[in-house]
Structure 1
Amino acid sequence: MVSAAASAVMTEGKAVADSRPILVGLLGRGIQQSRTPAMHEAEGRANGIAYIYRLLDADRMGVMPPRLSEVVDFAEYFGFDGFNVTFPYKQEIIPLLDELSDAAQAIGSVNTVVLRGGRRVGHNTDMWGFKESFRLGMTLAPRNRVLMLGAGGAGSAVGHALLESGIGRLMIGDIDTARATALADRLSSRFGADKVEAVTDIVEASQAADGIVNASPVGMDKLPGMPIDSALLRRGCWVADIIYFPLETQLLAEARRRGCRTLSGEGMAIFQAVRAFELFTGTAPDADRMKAVFSAFGGAPPE
């Protein structure tokens, strides 16, 4: 299926190459092992689009990396059509943008920026990405009470997705209690006060939870470890992680060892990329094809 914006570059039902390359990237820190460029570039080729995807890794920009505003200026100056945004910039990027989509505005987090007509427009495809992954990977999973760890930009998107997926009550825990409370208040205003609470007693919350979701960066290659004591993982409680590198986080490995049903960050990584690709190109991609490219990396850590 191809969106209306892409129909202008169709000839006899087959996509033809765009008149110029599409140049996009991923902005973040420690992202050299990302699978996102391969997914995007392969899908561009499949649709006849000259598509270039580059990493804008602040960890590779010298001892004193440029300010975020300077990197965004750089992307505009060198003709980028847009870029994805990952840890730790999903909220920091917002003041630098001209406009936010309805989803990005509601969530308060941006993971995709489209540069077009001299304007910077922020979108959030993380929410839909996690929602689709959860729908497909956690069918019939109990969802009366869910504990979410992490209340940052990713946590905001995942919190919205969980509540839209029918979670009865979402408990939010974060090392920054003020941030957890702020996110709980924001979600309560949209979904109802009876649906959300900020929690400080993670032990008590985990015992009451049907499922636990890690929406924090703890477990990434550059932030190894677990966001919760392994002793709190019990059989019958499902566990999801949004981290994609490594795909097999310590949390998921330990949860499986203890008999928990698990959901990795693979689905969210793929589905957020599906929506981002369409925003960049105007062409609706093939999600199964992008998943095949993601999976082709075998044991290599993904983004």
Structure 2
Amino acid sequence: MTKPCPATARYLTGLIGRDIQASLSPRLHESEGDAQGLRLVYRLFDLAVEGMDAGDLPRLLDALQLAGFAGVNVTHPYKQAIIACLDELSPQAQQIGSVNTVVFSGSRRIGYNTDIYGFAENLRSGLPSASRFDRVVQMGAGGAGAATAHALMELGVGQLTLFDPMIERAEELSAALNAIHGAGRAIVGQDLAAAVGAADGIVNATPLGMEGYPGSAIPRALLRPALWVTDIVYFPLETQLLREARDAGCTTLNGSGMTVYQAVRAFEHFTGKKADPARMAESFRVAEEA
């Protein structure tokens, strides 16, 4: 009598966002699934392509949960809007008010944030150990900006200056950071030129530079060789900001490492299996060069 073959674990996952057709997340997750003998499918749910917006998030999550999805990642511009659709938040997601990973557990929807880990690990591994973190300017105080700001606080930044077109959003994030990490460590910027002139490094946590969002958050004239500059955007890998910063002699760090490390944690939330960061980084490199 022939023995039945062992069942292969199957996982349906994906990414909800806007203008995300260039995302490499499907390759990262599916390649890691293949390496571990899992049948993992990762789909893009681009609300711009589907003619949907934030108001459609509840019914989209309903449909995915009914279809048996293990979970989904969430990216710009829905990392905060998605929270109203969830039943529970991890302590870290609750603390920063931003979710980039949703896990369907029975009838419940649990929100996590793996961006903090992803950003911090990218800085630790990608910037020289001599890089200074006394004063940092961050552009953007939205969902991604909340994660990068908390990561910067945990990395020991002395003073973080926040800029955002919605000043009230920067004020709210600054207040939250100071309440958790110590009074006066985060401030809302008033003069970009002065802040950059006094800074050791710059973080772009806005979508500027991403496909569909051309431009740079920092004027070229403000860049100088003593700065380190990092961008959370990874498609394209070299944004206008990073290209101009490199030309100005700055130390630069692209968003690929953050993408890989946050995907490592998201994969683990979806599957319950440990992911291999080096293998996922190689999958990213191969996909980016394809």
Q: TM-score range by the shorter chain?
A: over 0.9
Pair 1:130-2:114 in alignment: no
Matched residue, 2:212:
222
Aligned length: 285
Matched residue, 1:189:
179
TM-score, with structure 1 as normaliser: 0.91
Pair 1:68-2:57 in alignment: yes
User: Aligned to 1:110, which of 87, 94, 99?
Assistant: 99
- Alpha-carbon separation, structure 2, partners of 1:213 and 1:17: 47
Which deviates more, 70-79 or 249-258?
70-79
- Alpha-carbon separation, structure 2, partners of 1:63 and 1:276: 24
Matched residue, 2:163:
173
Matched residue, 2:17:
28
2:27–2:287 CA contact under 8 A, matched in 1: no
Matched residue, 1:147:
137
Matched residue, 1:120:
109
TM-score, with structure 2 as normaliser: 0.95
Identity of aligned residues (%): 50
1:17–1:49 CA contact under 8 A, matched in 2: no
Matched residue, 1:6:
none
Q: Displacement of 1:62 after TM fit?
A: 3.4
- Alpha-carbon separation, structure 2, partners of 1:103 and 1:89: 17
- C-alpha distance after superposition, 1:220-274 (max 9, x if no partner): 1111001111101111011010001111100000000000000100110000000
- Alpha-carbon separation, structure 2, partners of 1:129 and 1:181: 24
Q: 2:124 is matched by which residue type in structure 1?
A: R
User: Aligned to 1:272, which of 235, 239, 262?
Assistant: 262
1:221–1:246 CA contact under 8 A, matched in 2: yes
Taking structure 1 as reference, are residues 18 and 258 closer, same or farther at Cα in structure 2, changes over 3 Å only? Answer: farther
1:17–1:48 CA contact under 8 A, matched in 2: no
The alignment partner of 2:213 has SS state of coil
Pair 1:86-2:75 in alignment: yes
- Alpha-carbon separation, structure 1, partners of 2:134 and 2:7: 48
1:17–1:50 CA contact under 8 A, matched in 2: no
Taking structure 1 as reference, are residues 118 and 144 closer, same or farther at Cα in structure 2, changes over 3 Å only? Answer: same
For CA contacts below 8 A with separation 6 or more, give which structure has more relative contact order. Answer: 1
Q: Displacement of 1:118 after TM fit?
A: 0.6
The alignment partner of 2:81 has SS state of coil
The alignment partner of 2:260 has SS state of helix
- What value does the CA root-mean-square deviation take over the aligned residues? 1.6
Matched residue, 1:3:
none
Matched residue, 1:252:
242
- Alpha-carbon separation, structure 1, partners of 2:120 and 2:139: 17
- C-alpha distance after superposition, 1:201-233 (max 9, x if no partner): 111111110001000111111110011111011
- Consecutive unaligned residues of structure 2, counting only runs of 5 or more, are none
Pair 1:239-2:239 in alignment: no
1:215–1:242 CA contact under 8 A, matched in 2: yes
Pair 1:294-2:284 in alignment: yes
Matched residue, 1:4:
none
- Alpha-carbon separation, structure 2, partners of 1:202 and 1:270: 31
Q: 1:244 is matched by which residue type in structure 2?
A: Y
Matched residue, 1:51:
40
Q: 2:165 is matched by which residue type in structure 1?
A: I
Taking structure 1 as reference, are residues 269 and 18 closer, same or farther at Cα in structure 2, changes over 3 Å only? Answer: farther
Taking structure 1 as reference, are residues 182 and 18 closer, same or farther at Cα in structure 2, changes over 3 Å only? Answer: farther
Q: Displacement of 1:59 after TM fit?
A: 1.5
Matched residue, 1:8:
none
